[in-house]
Amino acid sequence: MAKDRFQYFERRLCEAGVARRHARRAATEIRSHHAQQVEAARAAGLAPEAARAEADARIGSDELLIERFASRPELRAFSSRRPLLAYSVLPMAVLVVAVVALFTMLATVPGALHLGLQSPTVLRSAIAIKVLTLWIGPVALSASCTLLAWRHRMALRWPLLTVILVCALGALVNLTATYDDSGPVPAGSLGLGLGFPPPPDQIERGVITLAIGLIPLALMALRWRRSRDTDAA
C-alpha cells in the first residue's frame, strides 16, 4: 500500500459506511503498521521498493482491509446504518419541531410580557420567525445533510431526498401574522397551518428554497467526480 493511497483508503472506508472518525483512525493505524513493516524489511536488507512491496503484501489488499473494517457494525455511521431515517424522517422532524416551538414561544411570551398580538414588536418577530423557519430552515437543513452525506461518502440520492422533502414541507407550512391599525383599536393575529395544495406564494417559496438547497448538492457531486477522476488517474 503506497503512502499516497492512505487517504484513498480512508475515503473508501467512508464510502463503505464506516464512520469518518473510525475511518481516519483505521487509516492512521494501517499507515503506522505499514511504516513498521517497511522498516523491518529495510533492516532485513531489502531495497526501498522491495521493502514497500513486502509491506504491502504483509498488510493485505485494500479491498480485504475495507471488507474487514466495514463488516464491524460498531464502526458504521448511523446515517449509513439508517439512511432513510437520517435523511428523511429526522430532517423533517427537526423542521416541524423548530416551527412549532418558535410559534409557541411567539404566542406565549408576549402575554407574559403584557404585550398584545397587536404589538408591532410581536408582528415583526413573527415575520422574522417565518423567514428563519420557512426560508432559512429548509436551506440550512439541506446544506447540513449534504455535508453529512459528503463526510460519510453517501450516495447522492440521500441528500437529494432531504432537499426535496424539507423544501416541500416548508412550502406546505404557512405562518401568518396580520396587523390592522385602521380601526379605533389596533388588532393583530397569528396563524400556523399546514395544507395541500399550497397557494402560489408558498409554491414559489418551495421552488426558491429547493433551488438554493440544490447548490451544495451540485458542489458535492462536482467534488465527488473530481476525486474519482483523481483516483482513476
Mean pLDDT computed over 213-228: 84
Q: How confident is the model over 120-178, as pLDDT tens digits?
A: 666 777 778 888 888 999 999 999 999 888 877 788 899 999 999 999 999 998 877 66
Q: Where are the domains of the chain?
A: 3-75, 81-232
Q: What is the average per-residue pLDDT within 194-212? A: 90
* Threshold 0.85, pTM exceeds: no
pLDDT tens readout for residues 46-69: 888 888 888 888 887 888 888 888
Q: Indicate if the pLDDT at residue 193 is higher than 90.
A: no
Can you tell me the distance from the alpha carbon of 230 to that of 223, in angstroms, rounded to the nearest whole number? 10
Which pLDDT value is given to residue 182?
Answer: 64
pLDDT on residue 95: 92
Q: Measure the CA angle with vertex 17, ends 72 and 97; round to 5°.
A: 115
Rounded to the nearest integer, the mean pLDDT of the chain is 81
